[in-house]
Structure 1
Amino acid sequence: MRRLPPLHSLRAFEVAARHLSFVAAAEELHVTPTAISHQIKALEDYLGKPLFRRRPRPMTLTEAGERLYPVLRDGFGQFAAALDEIHDPATIQRLKITTTTAFASRWLVPRLESFRAEAEHIDLEVHASEMPVDLHAGEADIAIRYGATPGGDLRWHELFRDRYVPVCHQALVADAELPLRPSELAARPLIHFEWKRPTRLTPTWERWFGESPAADSGDGLHKPLGRKLAFSEESHAIEAALAGQGIALLSDVLVAGELKSGTLVQVHPFALEGFTFHAVHLPHSAKADVIDDFIEWAKGQHGAARDTATRSI
C-alpha cells in the first residue's frame, strides 16, 4: 500500500499555494492560520524539503512546491468533478458559473429563469468577481470571460461580441433632436469607467471622439468638453446612466434590455467594436453535457435579444 501524507496537509498546501497566503487559505478552509502553518510544516517534514519561500515577502513557491502544486490542483479538481458526477446523477446536477459582476447582474441573472425552466435537472450557483478563478482547482465549472484573445489549456467557446454605444436615460434627451452631433454630445456630462487592462483598442470616450466619422468635419471634436463622472466599475457606470446622470459609452450586450424598453436611448449611431464573451471550461470536464446545454442556451438568448435590442435613431 502506498504511503501518503495526511490528506488535510495536502489540501492545506494546495489552497495556500493557490492563494500564496496562509491567511487566505485559513479563511477558505475555516481554520486558523496557525493550523495551516502546522499542516504545511508537517508536509515539508515528510518530504524533507521546503515548499514555500517565506522571506522575503511576498511568499513564493520553491522548486518542490512548484512541482507539487499543479499535481494536487488537478487532482482535487478531478476528485470534485467525479464526486459531483457520481452523486445522484439521475436527478439534480450542480453547475457553478463564474463571471464579472457587470455581466452577472446585467445579462445573466435577469435571464436565469429561462434556463432553469429549460433545464430542471440543473442547480445553478453564480460566482461574481472581477478576479479570474482557478477552474483547474474546481472553483467553478464554467467561466464567462471577456477579451480579445483566449489562451491557455482551457476550452474556449465564443458566445457573442458586443459594441460600445453612447447612451443615456431617455429623459435627458426628451427635448433634443437625435442623433446628437459630436459637439453637442461632448458638451454634456459624460460617464466613464476604468478598464482593468486597457489597450489601444479599448472602447473609451477619447477613442470614440477621435474615430467618429464627424471628427474631421466642421463639427469635429477630438476630446469631450463637458463635466466628467468616473467609476472604477462598469456596473456603476451603467447605474449612473440609468439614474440620468449623464451619457455613457456602454456595451450593447449589457444594456440590451434597457435599449429595447426605451429606458436608455442611443444618442449617436457611431459605435466602437468591443471584444468577445467566451464560455471557458476544462477540456475533459465531467459535466460536459451540462456545460454544453448552458452554452447553447446562452447563444440562443443573445440571438433573440439582438434582433430587437437597439432602438433606431
Structure 2
Amino acid sequence: MRIPPIKSIIAFESVGRTGSITRAADELGISPSAISHQITNLETLIGRPLFTREGRGLVLTPAGQQYFGEISQLLVQLGRATDHASGARAPEVIRIHSSPSFGLLWLLPRIRALQAEQQGFKIRLSCSYEPVSFSGGAYDVDIRHGHGIWPGVDVRTIGGETLTPMASREFIAAHGLRQPSDLLRVPLIFSESPLVQWPQWFSNVGVSQRDLGYELFFDRSYMALEAAQQGLGVCLESTLLAASYLADGRLQPVFDASHAVPVSAHHVVFPAAGAERVVPVVNWILDATRTPSQSV
C-alpha cells in the first residue's frame, strides 16, 4: 500500500481548491517552492500528472479531479477521527459560509427561522469571497456563487433564480419605462456579480445596443440593489437576492416575468463525508428559496 506524506496531500488539496501555488503557499504558511516540491513528489509517487497549467493558474487533470474528490473526503474523516480519539465532543454548531451578498440579503433575515427549525444546533455564519475548504473542519456548508462545478463535494443548486432589471417605483414612473429599448436612455447600474450582464440581457430581449453608458459600477450585488433602491438607476440583479426589496416594494421589476433570464447562480455545497449531519440544514435552505413567504 502506497501512502503519500500528509504534507503532500495537504499541499495538493490546497492547490486543487485555489488553483494557485502562490495562494496555497499563503494559506499554508510555507514557500511556493515548498508547495511545488510536495506536488512533484506526489505526482512522482502516483506516476501521473495531477495538474496542467492554464493561463496563470493550475487546473486539475482528470486523474487529479478524481484524486481530489477522494482526498477531500478522507481529510474530513481524518479530522473527525482525531476529534473522536482525543475525546473531543462533536460541536453543536453548523458553520455556514457564503458570499457577502447572499449572506446579507437572503440568509441573515432568515437566520432566526433557521435556528427555530433546526433546534439543537447553533448557526455560525461567515461571509467572504475567498474559496473555502472543508478539509480543515472550519465550515460545514458553503453557499457559493458560480457555475456549480467543484470537484470533491456535494453540490445542490438553488432553483428558481432569475435575473431581471429592477428599479424603484418612482424611477420607473418618472422615466416612463414600458419596453426594453427604453432602458437605453436611462442610467444603468453595472454589477460585476451576475452571471448574465447587461449586453447579454439586451440581446436576449432582442434589443441592439452599442456602447452602454453605465452610471455606476459595483462589485457587490447588495450595493447595486441599494443604489437602485435610492433611485440612482436600473440594476440587473437576482430576484433571489432582491427578495426582501421586492416584497416590501423598495424595488420592483421594470418588466414582466417574460423579460427575466433564468440562471443557476447559487449553490449549496458540502462534503459528502458526514453529510447526514448537515442535510437537514441544506434541505431547509433549498426549501426556503422555493417558498417566498418563509422570510423575514
Give the alignment's TM-score, normalised by structure 2. Answer: 0.70
Q: 1:308 to 1:275 in 2, by over 3 A?
A: same
* Aligned position for 1:242: 229
Equivalent position amino acid for 2:227 in 1:
A
Residue correspondences, number: 286
* Alpha-carbon distance, 1:16 to partner: 8.3
Over the aligned positions, Cα root-mean-square deviation in angstroms equals 4.8
Q: Following TM superposition, where does structure 1 have runs of at least 4 consecutive aligned residues deviating by more than 6 angstroms?
A: 4-27, 306-309
Structure 2 residue 204 is the aligned partner of structure 1 residue 211: yes
* Alpha-carbon distance, 1:162 to partner: 0.7
Write the distance in 2 (CA, Å) between the matches of 1:149 and 1:23.
24
| 1:46-98, Cα deviation, whole Å (9 max, x unpaired) | x9xxxxxxxxxx899xxxxx9xx968765542233345677434xx5222222
Write the distance in 1 (CA, Å) between the matches of 2:21 and 2:188.
44
Q: 1:118 to 1:300 in 2, by over 3 A?
A: same
* Aligned position for 2:214: 228
Structure 2 residue 274 is the aligned partner of structure 1 residue 286: yes
* Aligned position for 1:191: 189
* Alpha-carbon distance, 1:145 to partner: 2.8
Structure 2 residue 253 is the aligned partner of structure 1 residue 254: no
What are the equivalent positions in structure 2 for 1:1-313 lying under 5 Å apart? Answer: 75-82=74-81, 87-89=88-90, 93-148=92-147, 150=149, 152-175=151-174, 180-195=178-193, 202=196, 204-212=197-205, 215=206, 221-223=207-209, 227-229=213-215, 230-270=217-257, 271-276=259-264, 277-283=266-272, 285-288=273-276, 290-305=277-292
Write the distance in 2 (CA, Å) between the matches of 1:162 and 1:294.
20
Question: Could you say what secondary structure the match of 1:305 adopts?
Answer: coil
Contact 1:155-1:280 within 8 A present in 2 as well: yes
- Unaligned stretches of 5+ in structure 2? 46-55, 59-63
Write the distance in 2 (CA, Å) between the matches of 1:256 and 1:130.
21
Instruction: Give the fraction of aligned pairs with identical amino acids, expressed as a percent.
Output: 24
- Unaligned stretches of 5+ in structure 1? 48-57, 61-65, 216-220
Question: Could you say what secondary structure the match of 2:256 adopts?
Answer: coil
Contact 2:17-2:131 within 8 A present in 1 as well: no
Q: 1:186 to 1:95 in 2, by over 3 A?
A: same
Contact 2:153-2:269 within 8 A present in 1 as well: yes
Contact 1:188-1:225 within 8 A present in 2 as well: no
Write the distance in 1 (CA, Å) between the matches of 2:182 and 2:107.
34
Write the distance in 1 (CA, Å) between the matches of 2:158 and 2:82.
29
* Alpha-carbon distance, 1:184 to partner: 2.5
Q: 1:234 to 1:266 in 2, by over 3 A?
A: same
* Alpha-carbon distance, 1:158 to partner: 3.1
Give the alignment's TM-score, normalised by structure 1. Answer: 0.66
| 1:235-285, Cα deviation, whole Å (9 max, x unpaired) | 3322322232110111100001110100001111153333223222222x2
* Alpha-carbon distance, 1:305 to partner: 0.9
Contact 1:146-1:275 within 8 A present in 2 as well: no
Q: 1:84 to 1:241 in 2, by over 3 A?
A: farther
* Alpha-carbon distance, 1:21 to partner: 8.3
